[in-house]
Chains A and B, each alone.
Chain A
Amino acid sequence: MIAQGKTNVAARYGMSIDVDRCNGCGACMVACAAENNVPPAANGATERTGLTWIRVYRVDNGGEGNERRSAFVPMLCQHCGKDAPCVAVCPQQAVDVDPATGIVGQMPERCLGCRYCMAACPYHARSFNWSDPAWPAGMEKTLNPDVAPRMRGVVEKCNLCQGRLHTAKAKAAMAGRVEIDPADYVPACVEACPTRAIHFGNLNDAASEVAQESHRKGSFRMLEALHTDPKIYYQSKKDWVRETASAPRPGKENARG
């Protein structure tokens, strides 16, 4: 039994990531892979052919010696607004923005594997299954039964742990509630972050931590000039970190990252 979630105000799930707190440990990447049945890299896979729904980039300020400063920026699907660049391009409607949650979904069952959505995404947040998914012997017993593994030849990406949303909805329905308890729906990466750098919640709920953080000074979104209206906010007190959100600049800055 699933709660229908028919509320008057649609939710707008999003995140706020404090870049100053992120230490680049990669726990979010591991937790995400375990939760969403993302298989280990196939034999011969490279950094660019492996599968990951969240990637932690190391960036620096371009300084030399003592002037050099580094930060870690976790990049995942930015869950753009209703005009998300990937939605309009999919030839068979395998990508959509859920009007009830704002989550940009990808249907692997309908995906042709044309990868047009990957080309359209400025954040490079998607992965393609270049090989058959395979887990080391015995490891398949650890797979999450709430999430279907994807087959070879389809695209996948972060869906803000849709499996957990379904579980939260079922729990709410069992309790006779229409709306889910925010505490029941927390994506795996948020849960796993040891420094509490990632906050998650409904951006439409003004009382939520994530909504308040999104309006705080030092909050920014990636490539905002593209008008993609992402729901992933970043935070930093450092100017040079906030500058990373803008497009590459001509000259030596291009070497950064």
Chain B
Amino acid sequence: MVRLTGKLADGQFITRGVSRCSTERFLLWLAPWVALLVFGVYCAGLCLVKGLNQTNMDNRFVFGLWIFVDLTIIALGAGAFFTGFLLYILKFKELSAVINSAVIIGLVCYSGAMAALMVDVGQPLRCWFTFWYPNVHSMLTEVTFCISCYLAVLAIEYLPVVLKNRRLKEIPSFLVFEFELHKLIYVLAGVGTFLSFFHQGSLGGLFGVLRGRPFAFREGLMVWPSTFFLFILSAAAVGPSFLILTTWLVEKITHKRLVKDQVFQLLARISGILLCVYVLAKAVDTLVWLNRTSPGLGFEAAQYYDWKPFGTWILFAEIVLFGLLPALILITPGLRARRGWLIPATALACCGVALNRFVQTVQTQALPTLSFDRFLSYSPSWQEVGTFAGVLAYGVLVYSFSFRYSQVFPEERELKAARVMRLEIPEEELVEAGR
């Protein structure tokens, strides 16, 4: 009896016209992620209570796993701002099919990165100092301001997704609130786009401005190094790819069609075009850095690739394997139309942005700047890995709840109805009707 009531209560929150798995199955799905989240909280707690001696970072490898993962997930989460920009500012109406998913991914990525950042600074209780004593010349100040503000924008953008819940919609004041909020969505999208463009750039500038680290240092325009613009471009290029990848993953896990194929194609085309521009810009930037910037600072670029395992292969992998190759697949209509090409290409593009962030942060710290210094290596401690496993679990949980209880993919109902119709009406009759 209790079980039946539980089922009913859970079912009442699920959107009409869509089907979701049973409560038991959903709880079974949640269980490992909750366990991972608890483990992550425990690891983060260890770092906060006992100090950063719980990590494998040291005076030379001052940024560890967190900088690489933070920069990567923020780049992948760029689908949120870029899809919002395409939909609300450039009026790509088809993208309304994935905007909710993009907002959830963005919220999860940004809030997860912020949480991890709080664990990885030595004095998290002093985080407000950056707002109180801001150094306007620091890229980290720009990053802190923009990410905090954009997280607030994402939280507001996420509210309508929550308020779309079937039961919450029954509360009139919520309905009015959502309606009023929707009027603001263009403003929010504009503000979000500006903030997000800026902080993606600031994250690029984080290492690009380090004159004392010639491997990372880049020349640029005014106060911004070239990495400022490359990070914006790469995030905008990979954001849609990550959106395709996650949507495909959700489709596979739930055994449902959630988005029309045209939307996948549009996202893939946008991602491919931007990736092509990025690869070109990155290649030019690398040539300028190899031949002018680095030698100008007294560092022959060849020495960077002398330290194994970071040979020239990493440059090839970053630009060609994870850049040019997925770009070519994604801009070729015949190839991107097939899932067997589309999904690996988007995965390659995502790996490319991760590798780029890895090179910028981890490889930079591993390379010595003094001639009598050594090449350094670093591997994260289980507490560091655990903290990020917790962030991953948090992301999966937020997405799972949102998917179950809100209308994340507006086309889902329509696609389900079409599928039912196809099953009920024989194909010959449909063809006949089409004629």
Q: Which residues of A contact B (CB under 8 A)?
A: 42, 44-46, 48-50, 57, 59, 73, 75, 85-86, 88-94, 110-116, 118-124, 126-132, 152-155, 222-228, 243-251, 253-254, 256-257
A48 to B374, CA, bound (A): 12
Of chain A, the residue at the smallest CB distance from B364 is A119
A107 to B307, CA, bound (A): 36
Of chain B, the residue at the smallest CB distance from A253 is B371
A90 to B210, CA, bound (A): 12
Known: A113-B121, A115-B122, A122-B369. A88 touches B53 (CB 8 A): no
Of chain B, the residue at the smallest CB distance from A251 is B306
- The total of chain B residues at the interface (CB under 8 A) is 55
Report whether B212 and A247 are in contact in the complex, using a CB–CB cutoff of 8 Å: no
Which listed residue, A49, A59, A113, touches B372 by the CB 8 Å rule?
A59
Residues on B with C-beta less than 8 A from A227 are 211, 297
Q: Is the C-beta of B20 less than 8 angstroms from some C-beta in chain A?
A: no
Report whether A44 and B53 are in contact in the complex, using a CB–CB cutoff of 8 Å: yes
Q: Is the C-beta of B62 less than 8 angstroms from some C-beta in chain A?
A: yes
Interface-centre pick from B63, B139, B296, B369 (highest chain A CB count, 10 A): B369
Main secondary structure of the interface of A (DSSP, over half): loop
| 15 further contact pairs, Cβ within 8 A, besides A91-B144, A226-B211, A257-B373 | A48-B59, A89-B140, A89-B209, A90-B135, A92-B141, A111-B126, A113-B122, A114-B122, A115-B122, A122-B213, A123-B369, A246-B298, A247-B371, A248-B373, A251-B306
Of chain A, the residue at the smallest CB distance from B296 is A225
Report whether A153 and B51 are in contact in the complex, using a CB–CB cutoff of 8 Å: yes
Q: Is the C-beta of B134 less than 8 angstroms from some C-beta in chain A?
A: yes
Residues on B with C-beta less than 8 A from A93 are 133-135
Report whether B122 and A129 are in contact in the complex, using a CB–CB cutoff of 8 Å: yes
Report whether B58 and A247 are in contact in the complex, using a CB–CB cutoff of 8 Å: no
A118 to B52, CA, bound (A): 15
Interface-centre pick from A91, A94, A130, A226 (highest chain B CB count, 10 A): A91
Known: A113-B122, A223-B370. A88 touches B62 (CB 8 A): no
Report whether A122 and B129 are in contact in the complex, using a CB–CB cutoff of 8 Å: no
Report whether B53 and A42 are in contact in the complex, using a CB–CB cutoff of 8 Å: yes
A248 to B215, CA, bound (A): 12
Which listed residue, B58, B137, B212, B371, touches A226 by the CB 8 Å rule?
B212
Scoring B residues 325 to 366 as 1 if CB is less than 8 Å from chain A, else 0, what string do you get? 000000000000000000000000000000000000000110
CB distance from A86 to the nearest CB of B (A): 8
Residues on B with C-beta less than 8 A from A253 are 371
Q: Is the C-beta of B368 less than 8 angstroms from some C-beta in chain A?
A: yes
Number of A-B residue pairs having CB atoms within 8 Å of each other in the complex? 194
CB distance from A229 to the nearest CB of B (A): 11
Known: A48-B59, A250-B306. A128 touches B122 (CB 8 A): yes
Scoring B residues 114 to 155 as 1 if CB is less than 8 Å from chain A, else 0, what string do you get? 000000011100110110111101111100100000000000
Q: Is the C-beta of B303 less than 8 angstroms from some C-beta in chain A?
A: yes
Q: Is the C-beta of B248 less than 8 angstroms from some C-beta in chain A?
A: no
The 3 nearest A-B residue pairs measured at CB: A113-B122, A153-B122, A225-B298
29 pairs of residues in contact across A and B, judged by CB atoms under 8 Å: A49-B53, A49-B59, A59-B372, A88-B135, A91-B130, A91-B138, A92-B130, A94-B133, A111-B123, A112-B126, A112-B130, A116-B206, A124-B60, A128-B62, A131-B53, A153-B121, A223-B212, A223-B298, A224-B298, A243-B371, A244-B370, A246-B298, A247-B297, A247-B298, A247-B369, A248-B299, A248-B373, A249-B303, A250-B302
A103 to B314, CA, bound (A): 40
Residues on B with C-beta less than 8 A from A57 are 370, 372-373
CB distance from A67 to the nearest CB of B (A): 18
Residues on A with C-beta less than 8 A from B144 are 91
Report whether B303 and A114 are in contact in the complex, using a CB–CB cutoff of 8 Å: no
Report whether A116 and B122 are in contact in the complex, using a CB–CB cutoff of 8 Å: no
Residues on A with C-beta less than 8 A from B140 are 89-91, 114, 116
